[in-house]
């Protein structure tokens, strides 16, 4: 069957269309993405502005048209931190439902971490042993650890690259003192969680997902995306530490000229790099591997698992 996953995130609204059935690897068939940047469309009270809601509804309608054009039998819609933390979340969800027919499911941060972990586990398999998974989004950082398909520990921290850029790095290039202050903040937040994970012992394999980590790995010399999903891509902490001051010294326009850095993400790449560097340092990670699967694939896999369960139906399954 052909499924669509509609991901309303802090940076983008992304429709991923896959051909999938229980027991098989989901095969990507189409991708439709729009830069919305909901996290930047908040008013002083933390609510999504009327303009932002209008743009969200228009973007969801475009994604639904794309899903119909590509023959999707079902669309799995969900939203993450930007909608979850908006002061008017209930109003936004109601308007989207009334005007598009889409009932967005708002995932908690822990659910994001757990579904991303599932995707990573399926990608690498049981031979990867104990996994530590890091995922930097626009609004939050997810961390999960475990040996099975359900992690033993999963947390979400308000350390997304977009959120931190808007709140801590107003300059272009940023003021060095602002960079230092953000670095301290990031590390203090991550340090609070390290003990929760360290009691499980050292991981056998450390994995990162998300556009931020992919771009940082590309900067550090990893293969281009054009070389395919199955090329191993790694990020070493030493390389990242070398790149952080270089990113801090560049303007957004200059960062966008770097290999693998998209224009839309260039402005928040420094904040993402500070989070990645802090997480790798505090968790004692020298090298991590980039996984091409993340939250959207986790949602697809969970739905397929539910469909395969005895007595389950496609309509009855939930994320």
Q: For residue 150, give the CATH number of its domain.
A: 3.30.420.150
What is the rounded CA–CA span in Å between residue 205 and residue 138?
24
Predicted local distance difference test score (pLDDT) of residue 319: 54
Domain containing 29 equals: 2-106
Average pLDDT over every residue of 309-314: 62
The CA distance from 90 to 104, in Å, is 11
Share the mean pLDDT of the chain: 94
Give the domain-ending residue among 78, 106, 134: 106
C-alpha span between 158 and 305 (Å, rounded): 30
pLDDT at 313: 53
Q: 243 or 225, which is more confident?
A: 243
Q: What is the pTM of this model?
A: 0.94
Residue that has been written with the tokens 């990608």 in this structure: 123
Look at residues 106, 125, 149 and tell me which one is the last residue of a structural domain: 106
Same domain, 102 and 146: no
Assess whether 78 and 177 both reside in one domain: no
Q: With a cut of 90, say whether residue 264 has pLDDT above it.
A: no
Question: Is residue 318 in a domain?
Answer: no
Q: pLDDT grade, residue 314 (50/70/90)?
A: very low
State whether 50 and 71 are in the same domain. yes
> Which of residues 58, 82, 106 is at a domain's end?
106
pLDDT in tens, 20-38: 988 888 999 999 999 888 8
**% the chain with pLDDT above 90:** 84
For 181, residues 6+ apart whose C-beta sits below 8 A from its C-beta are 168
Domain count, the chain: 2
Do 148 and 278 reside in the same domain of the chain? yes
Average pLDDT over residues 176-187: 98
Q: How far apart are CA 77 and CA 299, in angstroms?
A: 10
What mean pLDDT is predicted for residues 41-60? 90
**159 and 278 both lie in a single domain:** yes
Average pLDDT over residues 94-119: 97
- Is 302 a member of any domain? no
Helix (H) or strand (E) holding 247: helix 237-249
| Residues 184, 50 share a domain | no
pLDDT of residue 40: 74
On whether both 261 and 133 belong to a single domain, the answer is yes
β 205-209/153-157 pair status = unpaired
| pLDDT level of residue 43 (50, 70, 90 thresholds) | confident
Q: Are residues 223 and 249 in the same domain?
A: yes
Q: Give the rounded distance of the alpha carbon of 52 from its chain centre.
A: 21
Average pLDDT over residues 186-197: 97
Q: What is the pLDDT confidence band of residue 110, given thresholds at 50, 70 and 90? A: very high
Same domain, 122 and 72: no
Q: What angle do CA 233, 18, 295 make, to 5 degrees?
A: 55
Residues 32 and 175 both lie in one domain = no
Q: What is the pLDDT of residue 46?
A: 86
The reply to whether 46 and 100 lie within a common domain is yes
Query: Residue 312 has what pLDDT?
Result: 56
pLDDT, tens digit (0-9, with 9 covering 90-100), for 269-310: 999 999 999 999 999 999 999 999 999 999 999 999 998 877
* pLDDT average, residue stretch 109-114: 97
- 69-89 confidence digits (pLDDT tens): 999 999 999 999 889 999 999
The answer to whether residue 315 sits within a structural domain is no
Provide the pLDDT for residue 296.
95
How much is the average pLDDT of 195-217?
96
- Residue 170 has a pLDDT of 94
Contacts of 71-75 with C-beta under 8 Å, sequence gap 24+, read 71/2, 72/2, 72/3, 72/4, 72/17, 73/1, 73/2, 73/3, 73/314, 74/1, 74/3, 74/4, 74/314, 75/3, 75/4, 75/5, 75/6, 75/15, 75/102
Express as a percent the part of the chain with pLDDT over 70: 97
Q: Reply yes or no on whether the pLDDT at 10 is more than 90.
A: no
């Amino acid at each position: 069957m052909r499924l669509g996953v509609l991901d309303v995130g802090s940076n983008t609204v992304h429709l991923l269309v896959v051909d999938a059935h229980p027991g098989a690897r989901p095969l990507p068939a189409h991708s439709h993405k729009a830069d919305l940047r909901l996290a930047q469309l908040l008013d002083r009270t933390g609510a999504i502005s009327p303009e932002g809601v209008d743009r969200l509804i228009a973007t969801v309608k475009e994604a639904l048209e794309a899903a119909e054009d590509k023959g999707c039998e079902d669309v799995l819609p969900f939203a993450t931190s930007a909608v979850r933390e908006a002061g008017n979340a209930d109003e936004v969800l109601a308007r989207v439902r009334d005007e598009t027919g889409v009932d967005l499911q708002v995932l908690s941060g822990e659910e994001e971490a757990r579904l991303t972990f599932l995707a990573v586990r399926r990608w690498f398999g049981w031979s990867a042993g104990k996994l530590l998974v890091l995922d930097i989004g626009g609004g939050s950082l997810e961390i999960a650890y475990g040996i099975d398909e359900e992690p033993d520990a999963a947390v979400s921290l308000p350390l997304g690259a977009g959120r931190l850029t808007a709140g801590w790095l107003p300059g272009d290039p940023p003021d060095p003192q602002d960079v230092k202050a953000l670095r301290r903040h990031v590390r203090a937040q991550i340090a609070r969680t390290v003990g929760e994970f360290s009691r499980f012992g050292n991981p056998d394999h450390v994995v990162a997902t998300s556009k931020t980590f992919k771009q940082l790995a590309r900067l550090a010399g990893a293969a281009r995306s054009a070389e395919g999903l199955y090329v191993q891509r790694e990020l070493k902490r030493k390389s990242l530490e070398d790149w952080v001051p270089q990113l801090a010294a560049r303007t957004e326009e200059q960062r966008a000229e770097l290999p693998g850095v998209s224009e839309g993400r260039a402005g928040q790449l420094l904040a993402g790099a500070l989070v990645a560097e802090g997480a790798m340092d505090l968790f004692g990670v020298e090298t991590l591997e980039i996984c091409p699967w993340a939250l959207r694939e986790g949602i697809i896999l969970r739905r397929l698992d539910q469909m395969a369960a005895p007595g389950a139906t496609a309509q009855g399954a939930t994320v």
